[in-house]
Every structure is written in structure tokens, then in C-alpha cells.
Structure 1
Amino acid sequence: MRTSVIVGVLVILLAVGAGWSNRYINTSGSVLEQYIDQMEDQVRDSKWEKAESGYKQIESNWENTKKVWSALVTHQEIDSIDLSLKRLEEFVKAKNFVLASSELASLRLLFEHIVDTEAFNLTNVF
């Protein structure tokens, strides 16, 4: 009897942990994507000072988010985002519309990919 109670509690804890991590990844990914939306507008309008400020917001938010995501997501994905952010920083500094826009699109794809692959659904379970 005691063993089944312990197993039941562990299953509940795992389910709650999975739900929390899924919600955190979805929420933080959405926030990062909103920053990307804003930055895309700034780059499109050639507002490079605002784009640099937008980059700093993304980077700051990412540094906080990365601390938790590192425990939940593969490190290769984290490294890909870090590299993409560094490239974006340089493209914005160079005021290169084409490269900054393409890097923003890549960054968006990386965030969306993580949110999709970490979602708790039947496709990802099996």
C-alpha cells in the first residue's frame, strides 16, 4: 500500500512538472517572439537605434530565460540561439537590412521549433 502511494505521488509530481515546464516554455517563447516582432518592424523601418535597443531587450530576456531552458531543452538548441543572437547583433550594428531580417527570421524559427518540440502532445510522446 505504501509503495503505491509513493508511486502515485511521484507520478503526480512528474505530471505537474511537465505541465509547468510546458507552460513556461510556451510563455517565455511567446514573449521572445513578441520582441522579435517589434525588432522586425524597427529593422524594416530602418530605425537602427531602436533596433539596437530591441536587441538588448531580447538579449536580456534571453539570458534570464536561458537559465531555465537549459534544464529543459537540449544544449545544442540553446547554442544555436546564442549564435543567432550574436550574428543578429553584428548585422544590426552594421545596419544591414537583409542580413538582420534573415537572422530575425531564423531566430523566430528556433524559438518556434523549441516550443513545438517541447509541447506535451501525442506526437512528441511517441
Structure 2
Amino acid sequence: MRYVTPLVVFLLVFIFFLDFASIKYLDSTSQKIDSLLSKVEDHIKSGDWEKAKDWVEKAESEWKKIDRKWALLVEHREIDEIEINMEKLKSFVESKNRDQSMAQLKTVKMLLKYVPENEKPTFENIF
């Protein structure tokens, strides 16, 4: 019985640490992809479609490196949404459709920001 309290405290601290580490990871990786997508946005605005396409491919490549890790931490539906919208973005950039590309880019960026925010233990997320 005397080992139960330290065990419970250890488990709570461990769970808190894992939660903190996973949120930190989600934040840092989403910011990394967001910075790549900002370069896409700059090139779309300037009309440099080849560079925009290159940066979309870099962002997609970076996403493929982290999506399996995200799958351990978040719902698969959210990951699927990001992947679907990344493909749409790639398609709109390839077709040089400025309006659709910008709209899709904003959607992907919003999803990448939403997921880490949604995973944080806030009062709204808990209840």
C-alpha cells in the first residue's frame, strides 16, 4: 500500500510529460511546414509558379516524414484532411490557378495550426 501513492504520482508526472512533449512536437513540426507553405504563398503572389510548385513539393515531402508520427498523437481524420488539402493545393499550383491556390493554401495552414491547438489540454478541450 505504501508504494501506491508514489506509483500514482509517478504515472501522473509521466503522463503530463508525454502530453507536454507531444504538444511541443506537434507545434514545432506544424510551424516547420507552415514556414515552407509561406514560401509557397510568396511565390504564388509573385506569379512564380515553378518555384511555388517546388516549395509545395518540399512541404509535401516534409509532411510525409512526420505524418506517421502525428498518427500516433492525433485522430486520423485530421491527418487525412491535411493530406487531401495538400493534394488539392498541389493540383491548383500545377494548374496555375491563383485564387484556388491561395484559398487551398490558407486551408492547409489553418489545419496545421488547428491540430496542435486542439490537442492542448485547455478547459474547452477537456469539457
Q: TM-score range by the shorter chain?
A: over 0.9
| 1:109 alignment counterpart | 110
| 1:97 alignment counterpart | 98
SS at match of 1:120: coil
What are structure 1's unaligned runs of at least 5 residues?
none
Distance 1:45 1:65 in 2: 29
| 1:24 alignment counterpart | 25
Q: By how many angstroms is 1:115 displaced? A: 2.0
| 1:6 alignment counterpart | 7
Q: Which has the higher contact order (CA 8 A, sep 6+)?
A: 1
Distance 2:64 2:35 in 1: 16
Q: By how many angstroms is 1:95 displaced? A: 1.0
SS at match of 1:117: helix
| 1:68 alignment counterpart | 69
| 1:86 alignment counterpart | 87
Match of 1:87, as an amino acid? Answer: K
Distance 2:27 2:79 in 1: 16
- Identity in percent: 25
Which piece of structure 1 moves more, 56-65 or 114-123? 114-123
Give aligned pairs, total. Answer: 126
Would you say the 8 A contact 1:36–1:104 is kept in 2?
yes
SS at match of 1:87: helix
What are structure 2's unaligned runs of at least 5 residues?
none
TM-score under structure 2 length normalisation: 0.93
Would you say the 8 A contact 1:22–1:120 is kept in 2?
no
